[in-house]
Amino acid sequence: MSSAQSEDGLDLEHRDVGARVRARGPRHPVRAVATIVTIGIALTILSTWSVARIDANTEERLLQVQTLQAAAVLTSAGAVVQQPMQAALDVQAFAKPSDAASVFKRGMGANVGADDGQFVSAALWQRDRGRLRNVATIGRPGLDGGGSEGRAFLGRALNSSTSVVRHVAVGEQIRVAFALADPATGYVVYGERAVPANRRSRVDQNSAFADLNYAIYLGKGTDAAALSTTNVDPADLPLMDPTFRTEVPFGDTVLTLVMSPRTHLGSSLSQRLPIILGVGGVLLTVIAALVARQLVRARSDAESSSETTTALLERVDLLYEQQRDLFVRLQRALLPQVIPNIPKIEIASQYVAGAQGVDIGGDWYSVIGVDDDRFAFVVGDVSGHGVDAVAVMAHARFTLRAYLVDGDSPQQALEKCSRQFDIAVDEHLITAVVGIGNWRTGEFVMANAGHPPPLLVTADQVDYLETPVGPPLGIGRSSYKSATFTMPQNSTLILYTDGLIERRTEDIDAGMQRLTTVVTPIAGDPLDSLLDQVLTSLRDEDAADDIAVLALRRLSS
């Protein structure tokens, strides 16, 4: 986003250093070396801390996403467990009372077995004149339905609209007991499911959750008595931070799922980048200090002249530019390194850093595959500059990516993402345009959070798409609407950040008109060439704002 910017603070600092050198003479090499070491170490610490913070935030988000995915699996598993019990109840509604026991054993018997059955035991009970009567039993239940605990448990089921669940101890073995009732007929189906020995289970190496430790508790408590299953030694519980906890509805209670990472969940580059930046920054600082020391000593041996002073300042400016280049490399490292190959879709992208200052911006783009036919794309912009803006950008990019990969629509992804950011905390606003395209049909669905409109280039015209524009991310929980259109063959969709069209001295409409004027005569050019010409024509060499551009062309074959 464009923002008024004064002369860069570091540039003024270098001028002040030059003025002191000229005033005091070249006889204090220690001062020059100390200044460069201080600046270099400070910038190294700042960049290393920022990247480590980005990586920590990404790890936290990945852990949250994978825990919620595991919770969805648990929800499905709970439905599978209840299905045969519900089927047994439904059959009893049509069976004769004299046939109830045989019908139950035939239907439920296939699901009971110590080795391969869902349940290790099952029973059918019926409320008869206010009392519970056992109709049929398969296996050896650990909870006696005729006892006080059993009657109370079955009574809960008769008064519940869903199944009721509890732990049952059978010797050293722990079972999960289920009871599901039909108040209309008075029947109650009871079943017990075995918990793995020592409550330990394993996760296959090829599982999506192989890199995670987990513990599942029955109920909202997380003490040892509530533990149901885990893939670690129970003696190692509770799991050590970082952890993420969520609750999954399970009958008349919940399953509390707690997960923690076994290894680093993100890319190896993001894990190693703080070390790389730290070591690289220290080496660069040492080299800069040695060079400065040598220069100052050489200058102290010569006459104090304007040419020598100018040479020294040019060396310091060179170090300043190298530091700025390091920050730009950091920002580029957070952008996609490889664009996925989408059938019949040509993709081109460009990122240009602002021309002024050492601070980097929060502009980004992203293209990801969703399934065999669809792909998602995002172009976004974080207000302001600096490492904090980049941290917010990385958080927004990975959060939106996680929601889109998880199957959310563009408007759903933005709505969920709006809950993750607060300008009062982050001190930044985020604009983004999010879309999902189908390369087979050409259908595109897009939602917009305060971002400039995409430009659609067809054989007949060059015009901006009318998409409903919702509020930027960061102002609180918001809702968004989407627009759907069919992209013609051989047409091009151009998405960009506002650094491409904004100028401090003119209205944004003038910049949008200038973009259509530049694109119209070159609409049929190769995509990379088209973006090169657009940036050459529109980019202001003195602009402080970064530019990110993403172009998608639907091919005819």
Query: Per residue in 249-267, pLDDT tens?
Result: 998 999 999 999 988 887 7
Q: Is residue 4 part of a domain?
A: no
Last residue of a domain, one of 261, 289, 316: 261
Residue 415's CATH number: 3.60.40.10
Residues 6+ apart with CB under 8 A from 349: 336, 339, 365, 367, 531, 548, 549, 550, 551
The residue among 79, 104, 257 whose CA lies nearest residue 190 is 104
Query: Looking at the structure, do residues 423 and 510 belong to the same domain, yes or no?
Result: yes
Report the domain count for the chain: 4
Tell me the percentage of the chain whose pLDDT exceeds 70.
85
Top pLDDT among 225 and 354 is at 225
Using pLDDT thresholds of 50, 70 and 90, give the confidence band for residue 318: low
Query: Looking at the structure, do residues 216 and 233 belong to the same domain, yes or no?
Result: yes
Query: Looking at the structure, do residues 88 and 134 belong to the same domain, yes or no?
Result: no
Query: Looking at the structure, do residues 125 and 202 belong to the same domain, yes or no?
Result: no
Q: Is residue 472 part of a domain?
A: yes
Residue 155's CATH number: 3.30.450
Here the tokens at position 116 are 């391969």
pLDDT (tens digit, 9 = 90+) per residue, 97-120?
Answer: 888 889 899 988 888 986 667 899
Q: Which domain holds residue 387?
A: 334-554
Q: Is residue 417 part of a domain?
A: yes
Query: Looking at the structure, do residues 513 and 377 belong to the same domain, yes or no?
Result: yes
Spatial distance between the Cα atoms of 501 and 540, rounded to a whole number of angstroms: 9
Last residue of a domain, one of 153, 177, 195: 195
Q: Is residue 5 part of a domain?
A: no
Q: Is residue 3 part of a domain?
A: no
Last residue of a domain, one of 308, 331, 354: 331
Query: Looking at the structure, do residues 490 and 366 belong to the same domain, yes or no?
Result: yes
Report H helices in 406-464. 410-418, 423-426
Looking at the predicted structure, is the pLDDT value of residue 473 above 80? yes
Q: Strands, DSSP E only, in 117-263?
A: 121-128, 131-138, 164-170, 173-182, 187-194, 212-218, 227-230, 244-250, 253-261
Query: Looking at the structure, do residues 472 and 427 belong to the same domain, yes or no?
Result: yes
Query: Looking at the structure, do residues 415 and 466 belong to the same domain, yes or no?
Result: yes
Query: Looking at the structure, do residues 342 and 358 belong to the same domain, yes or no?
Result: yes
Spatial distance between the Cα atoms of 299 and 434, rounded to a whole number of angstroms: 57
Here the tokens at position 283 are 């080496």
Query: Looking at the structure, do residues 228 and 251 belong to the same domain, yes or no?
Result: yes
pLDDT (tens digit, 9 = 90+) per residue, 220-232?
Answer: 988 988 898 898 8
> How far is residue 23 CA from its own chain's centroid?
54
Looking at the predicted structure, is the pLDDT value of residue 170 above 80? yes
pLDDT at 5: 41
Query: Looking at the structure, do residues 436 and 475 belong to the same domain, yes or no?
Result: yes
Q: Is residue 1 part of a domain?
A: no
Spatial distance between the Cα atoms of 549 and 534, rounded to a whole number of angstroms: 10
Contact at 8 Å (CB) between 29 and 377? no
Q: What is the dihedral of CA 111, 114, 120, 122, to 10 degrees?
A: 50
Q: What is the pTM of this model?
A: 0.46
Query: Looking at the structure, do residues 135 and 251 belong to the same domain, yes or no?
Result: no
Mean pLDDT, all residues of the chain: 84
